[in-house]
Structures are given as C-alpha cells and as structure tokens.
Homo-oligomer: A and B are copies of this chain.
Amino acid sequence: MKIAVLGSYSTRYGELWDSRFTDLLAQASCGALADAKIQPSDIDYIVTSSMCSATLNGQLNVGAMAADILRLNVPSIRVEGACASGALAIHTGIAMLEAGKADVVLVNGVEKMTDSSHTITTQSLMAAASYETEYSIGATFPALFALVTRAYMHHHNITREQLAHVSVKNHFHASMNPLSHFHKKFSVADIMNAPMVADPLSVLDCSPVSDGAASLVLATPAFAQKINAQPIYIIASTLATDTLALADRESIITCKATQLAARNAFAMAHLTPKDVDIVEVHDAFSMGEIIALEDCGFFHPGQAAQATVNGDTYFNAKLPVNTSGGLKAKGHPVGASGVGQAVEIIKQLQGRCGLRQIKNASIGLTHSMGGIGATVGVHIFSRE
C-alpha cells in the first residue's frame, strides 16, 4: 500500500483554557489544510477520532461538526477505539482512499479534557476498560498498568530506577518541543521521588490529562502527483485487538495486539524493525513504552529498559523513541494522540523538528494503544 500525506498539523497540547472542543478541531483541520496547500473543497471525506467527547463535552456527532467547520456536506464519520482512536481514524481514512470513495481525506483527532472534574475524567477514561470486570469494581488505568509494571519488573528483573529513564528521556525530548504540555526536564531521582499514583508508578510515570488536536490530509498518490505535492507516504496501516479485560489475557507483560499489528505492518511494508529510523509508541505509562518497543520487535523481551538506560532511544541515538515527548510529556489528549504521533513522525521525516530533529530519517513507525492493549494500531511512514 502507498498513501500520500499532503499535510499535517498538531495544536499545542496542554491545559488550553482559551480553546473549546470546536476551536481545537478547527485549528488542527485548518492547519493541516494550510500545510497541504489545498482548499476545503478538495476534501472528499472526513474521519475524526475523539474518545471522550460525549462524557467530557456533551458532544457526539463530531463527524458532522468536522464537516460543518469547513462548510462541507461530505461524508464525515467519527471512529473510536479508546486511546487508539487516532490510529483508527488514520486507518479508516486510508480505507476510504483504497476503496475509491475519495481522492483526499481529512483525518482529525481531538480531545478537550480539562474542563471537567477529575472524577468525571477518570470515569471517562475507564470506559476504555471492561466496565463489568474493571471499571465497575473501581479499577483505574494507573492501577491496571501498575499490575502490568510489577509483573514485568518481576519477570525480567528490572528495577524501578531503570524504568524511570523512560520518563527522563521523554521529558527531555518534550523540553525541545514547543507544542508540548510540559517543558521541564526531570532527573531519575525526580521521577522516583514524585508522588506515588499506583505503586510502582509515580505521577511522573503517568501521562497527563491534556487538551489538543491533530490532523492529517491524506490522498491517493495519483492526486498527490496531480498537484505536484512532495508527500510523505504511509506504507503500512494495521489494527489488531485483544481481550477487553486484562484478567482474560494469556500474558500481561506482552501485548498480543501490538505483536500482531506490528508483525502485519512490517509484512505489509516489506520491512523489518531494523529498517525503522524513528518511533512514536504509546507511553501512557512508562512501562507501556518498554513493552511496546519489545512487542514491535525493536528489542528482545526484557532488553528495552536497559537500552533506555544506555541512552539508545534518545533523539540523537540508535533508535529515537518519542522525540515529540510522547504521551508522557508532549501530552495525551486521548482521541488526538494517535494522530499527533503521526504528525511527529511526518515532521521528522520532513526535517521540520528544530532542536529535536533527528538525522537521516527515512522510515518511521507509530504505535497506539486503546485500553490496556485491547485495541492497537500501527502505521509505518516513508520519506519516499
């Protein structure tokens, strides 16, 4: 497969008190159109992802809103797969192009999370888990991911200190990203001494609640050629699922859906993990980055933490991971995050990332997870 990315845009992530849900969606979609140098009338189809718009913003039918913002009457749908919603939107947008339903598709991810109480936000996020066996008995995602983290640390003999290096790196990257929710650098000691959320995860192991939006303009290669664009290409797009409830898994220290989606993506792109120059993975919790890197095949099981300690995943090292700052430090507006990851990879492949720009990037990969691994999307991007 080969799909052209004509334009990409991410709003700033953070507590954006002066921006409504609609404002964020408008800013991202218009930003991507401007970047693509096309008009709204060029858009044939819109796919928008949002996770919590009903519970946090009283707003469904966000597809119609996205078309309305651009004064269009085109087909416009919303897709949702919890925190992987953004990846689902890209995947579905690609399908509309491949199905011949469109030449140009606008893909949006948007979330406005900070206008609600902590209780409502926590409840909204827990809807990504199993209501019956997790949400209803009071589990939270930090609690569930703490179980995963403890099990992994025990199985692979990993220390709390090793794990802390994930957040240190991602906050360092975020300090160079003007769009990040956080810009402060932290030490290993800072991470380890931060207030505990769910042992062993401190608040600096957990991604924040953020507002933000991101958009892509996707097109058929034929359309890209017609307008003389110089696109980045998406050369693989895969989804996979696993049990909704953590308790139903064969293993909780690997993610079957990530393994399946990554394996299928590499097969689709005719590439191996060794060919990848830059990665954005779903680090909603620091252990998430470790497990995702292993499940995608970048490191052997049990090796990713030490590689992180060694500095191998910094922006200027062997395999730059989460140069945007990741969900941990760029921020995690849940429905936008998957699209935002793609924006970072695209900008890196285009050489537009300023201080955190990596060298000679040709192939990039994004990995998004919804729930605790129940829904996963993987995309591979190529400069050529």
A interface residues with partner B (beta carbon < 8 Å): 20-22, 51-55, 57-65, 67-68, 72-82, 88, 91-92, 94-101, 123-124, 126-132, 135-136, 238-244, 248, 256-257, 260, 370-371, 374-375
Contacts and interface: CB of A to CB of B under 8 A. Distances in A.
Given A59-B127, A61-B82, A68-B241, 18 more contacts: A55-B55, A58-B123, A61-B371, A63-B88, A63-B375, A64-B243, A64-B374, A67-B241, A68-B374, A73-B242, A73-B256, A75-B241, A76-B239, A76-B241, A76-B375, A77-B81, A77-B92, A98-B98
5 contacts: A58-B136, A61-B128, A64-B375, A75-B91, A95-B95
B131 A59 contact: yes
A81 B64 contact: yes
Nearest to A99: B98
A238 B75 contact: yes
Contact of A60 (B51, B91, B94, B100): B51
B73 A127 contact: no
Given A95-B96, A95-B101, A99-B98, A63 B81 contact: yes
Contacts of A52: 54
A68 B248 contact: yes
A237 to B, nearest CB: 9
Contacts of A374: 61, 64, 68
Contacts of A65: 130, 244
Given A78-B79, A80-B60, A243 B128 contact: no
A325 to B, nearest CB: 25
Contacts of A53: 127
A21 B260 CA distance: 28
Contacts of A257: 73
Given A61-B374, A95-B96, A370-B61, A68 B131 contact: no
A58 B130 CA distance: 9
A76 B79 CA distance: 11
Nearest to A65: B244
A101 B130 CA distance: 27
Contact of A132 (B22, B96, B98): B22
Contact of A131 (B58, B63, B72, B131): B58
A82 B63 CA distance: 9
A117 to B, nearest CB: 16
From A57, A63, A129, name the one whose CB has the most chain B CB atoms within 10 angstroms. A63
From A62, A94, A101, A248, name the one whose CB has the most chain B CB atoms within 10 angstroms. A101
From A57, A64, A238, A371, name the one whose CB has the most chain B CB atoms within 10 angstroms. A64
Given A58-B135, A61-B371, A81 B82 contact: no
B81 A61 contact: yes
